[in-house]
Amino acid sequence: MKRALTPGTFDPITSGHLDVITRAAQMVDEVIVAVAASPKKRPLFALEERARLVREATAHLPNVRVEPFDDLLVDFAAKMDATVIIKGLRAITDFEYEFQMTAINYQLNQALETLFIMSPPQYMYLSSSIVRELASLGGDVSQFVPPCVARALAERFATA
């Protein structure tokens, strides 16, 4: 069985992430969406809430499951028995950083491949921080995120 990880902070999951996960799920037998604790990023949503939103947004994809993690990505991949990491590549600005991460991960475990899926044009400039900012200022995020995330953001900023 070919199992892939699609890792990220998912604070929160966007339509761009969902596009990558959906396409990854067509390429391998099973996709594990690895939701990183990423404490340094001081996420808006707690780890369990981010994982819950990813679960709800991917519930229609039968070969996708969601796992939170707080260890090294290569160690988590080994623990999950995954042999490939699949990530989205958006604008050219992603490249340098992704190149560095991929090189380090490869150095740590040469049996773990990293594949990139190009974002379609409509998601090229989408990011979780843009979505958070838009929602915090009362903007309509519905075209950028799954409905469960739009609801969660509306609730979060209504009580902020």
Q: Report how far residue 25's alpha carbon sits from residue 58's, in angstroms, rounded to the nearest whole number.
A: 10
132 classed as catalytic: no
Cβ atoms of residues 49 and 15 within 8 Å? no
**Shortest Å, Cβ 128 to ligand COA:** 3
Residue nearest to ligand COA (CB): 16
Contacts with ligand COA by CB under 6 A lie at 7-11, 14, 16-17, 20, 36, 38, 72-73, 88, 90, 101, 104-105, 119, 123, 126-129
Residue 73 Cβ vs ligand COA, minimum distance, rounded to whole Å: 3
Instruction: State the Cα–Cα distance between residues 16 and 90, nearest whole angstrom.
Output: 9
Residue of 15, 90, 119, 132 with catalytic role: 90
* Catalytic (active site) residue 60: no
Locate 31 and state its tokens.
């996709």
Quote the least distance from Cβ 155 to ligand COA, whole Å: 19
Q: Is 90 a catalytic residue?
A: yes
- Residues 17, 50, 87, 132: which is the catalytic one? 17
Active site residue 42: no
Residues designated catalytic: 17, 41, 90, 128
